[in-house]
């Protein structure tokens, strides 16, 4: 085992503290990464504060990891020391089931090993649970490491490892592109990346946000239209307009109202995860053969495709870089929607 500096939370109502954690020794197919930047995802906050239940303390969050290869195992062929690399939400899967063989490791039938707070063999992690990217180093199996092209700064790339692929995957799956009308509900940490990617794919993009406070940003990111959902006229004006709607909001929304904005054979995809069940009227779906679907992150191959696409089109997350001792305050600001648009931790401050 080797050691790394990290920031951990010991209780749901506690504060982050600097600690030392153990990383497994480098195996033949492993990559040791010096982490340079770690994005803060809202999932980190839900887990750290045990809002979803099941958090194992102490917890080291972070699944938006960007850094440089420090060492490689004897059987590693894709990477060498000094390469720019990233790690997203997963660090392993069974590799044998249907989803894994189809490059959809996020749907592994046995359950993918997530980057933090997942129980594993103590030989992999000393206390039996994965520890994430709020740390100076991480050891990851080669297959779950992706290359970060030169066209994206490591700091702007970090949030793409979760937020980027979370939006890219459904946009690809539902064939967003020229001739398609796509709406993004919410333009926060997830939504702003979705606007950029959907526009780069050639779709006509509309932002549906509670207010018009980010309208100028939306246009800058590539949105053709921007509407306030607090105005009921929005739902009358846009009825039957869209081929695809991506909901990035975790708050409870009147989903039935949004379904009515779909055209024939349109699909509304749930990405944000509210706490309460959603109420829909069956006729709203049946009337125009509409669909309500869900999506997670993408697989490793698709994550690499997303990074290559973003580099080609000059897409990065809009970020505010913070030091490690600012994590607690950043969490509070994310909950208060007081960030444009993602916090990224400068790991050199650990």
Do 128 and 65 touch, CB atoms closer than 8 A? no
Q: Output the CA angle 2-9-146, nearest 5 degrees.
A: 55
**Has residue 149 got a pLDDT over 80?**
yes
What tens digit of pLDDT does each residue of 50-75 get? 998 999 999 999 999 999 999 999 99
Q: What is the DSSP letter of 107?
A: G
So what's the pLDDT on residue 274?
Answer: 81
- pLDDT of the residue at 275: 76
| Count of other CB atoms within 10 angstroms of residue 287 | 14
CATH topology of domain 164-294: Rossmann fold (3.40.50)
CATH for the stretch 2-161+317-349: 3.90.180.10
**Predicted TM-score (pTM) above 0.85:** yes
Q: What is the pLDDT of residues 106-137, one digit of tens each?
A: 999 999 999 999 988 776 666 688 999 999 99
- For the chain, what percent of residues have pLDDT higher than 90? 91
Which tokens hold the place of 23? 């990383």
Give CA–CA dist 215/212, Å, rounded. 5
> What is the pLDDT, as a whole number, of residue 194?
98
pLDDT digits (tens, 9 = 90+) for 71-94: 999 999 999 999 999 999 999 999
DSSP of 244-300: EEEE---S---HHHHHTTEEEEEEEEE-S--SSPPP--HHHHHTTT-EEEE-----H
Higher pLDDT, 251 or 224: 224
The answer to whether the CB of 183 falls within 8 A of the CB of 199 is: no
| Mean pLDDT to the nearest integer, 167-178 | 97
- Mean pLDDT, residues 141-159: 97
Q: What is the pLDDT of residue 125?
A: 64
Residue 297 CB: number of other CB atoms within 10 A?
A: 26
Max Cα distance, the chain (Å) = 62
pLDDT in tens, 286-340: 989 999 999 999 999 999 999 999 999 999 999 999 999 999 999 999 999 899 9
Indicate where the chain has its CATH 3.90.180.10 domain(s): 2-161+317-349
Query: Which residues belong to CATH 3.40.50.720 in the chain?
Result: 164-294
């Amino acid at each position: 085992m080797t050691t790394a500096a990290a920031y951990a939370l010991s209780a749901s109502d506690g504060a982050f503290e600097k600690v030392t954690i153990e990383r497994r020794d480098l195996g033949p197919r492993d990559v040791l990464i010096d982490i340079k930047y770690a994005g803060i995802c809202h999932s980190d906050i839900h887990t750290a504060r045990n809002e979803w239940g099941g958090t194992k303390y102490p917890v080291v969050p972070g699944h938006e990891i960007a850094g440089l290869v420090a060492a490689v195992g004897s059987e590693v062929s894709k990477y060498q020391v000094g390469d720019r690399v990233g790690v997203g939400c997963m660090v392993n899967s069974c590799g044998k089931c249907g989803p894994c063989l189809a490059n959809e490791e996020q749907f592994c039938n046995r359950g993918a090993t997530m980057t933090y707070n997942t129980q594993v063999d103590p030989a992999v992690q000393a206390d039996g649970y994965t520890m994430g990217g709020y740390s100076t180093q991480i050891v990851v199996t080669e297959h779950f490491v992706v290359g970060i092209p030169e066209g994206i700064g490591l700091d702007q790339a970090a949030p793409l490892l979760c937020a980027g692929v979370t939006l890219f995957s459904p946009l690809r799956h539902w064939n967003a592109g020229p001739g398609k009308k796509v709406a993004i509900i919410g333009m926060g940490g997830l939504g702003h990346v979705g606007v950029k990617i959907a526009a780069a794919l050639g779709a006509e993009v509309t932002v549906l946000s509670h207010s018009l406070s980010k309208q100028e940003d939306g246009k800058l990111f590539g949105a053709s239209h921007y509407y306030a959902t607090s105005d009921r006229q929005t739902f009358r004006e846009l009825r039957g307009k869209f081929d695809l709607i991506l909901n990035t909001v975790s708050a409870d929304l009147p989903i039935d109202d949004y379904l009515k904005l779909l055209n024939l054979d349109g699909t509304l995809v749930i990405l944000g995860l509210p706490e309460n069940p959603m109420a829909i009227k069956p006729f709203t779906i049946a009337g125009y053969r509409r669909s309500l679907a869900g999506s997670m992150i993408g697989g490793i191959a698709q994550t690499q495709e997303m990074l290559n696409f973003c580099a080609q089109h000059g897409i990065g997350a809009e970020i505010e870089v913070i030091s490690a001792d600012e994590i607690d305050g950043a969490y509070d600001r994310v909950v208060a929607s007081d960030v444009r648009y993602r916090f990224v931790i400068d790991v050199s401050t650990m």
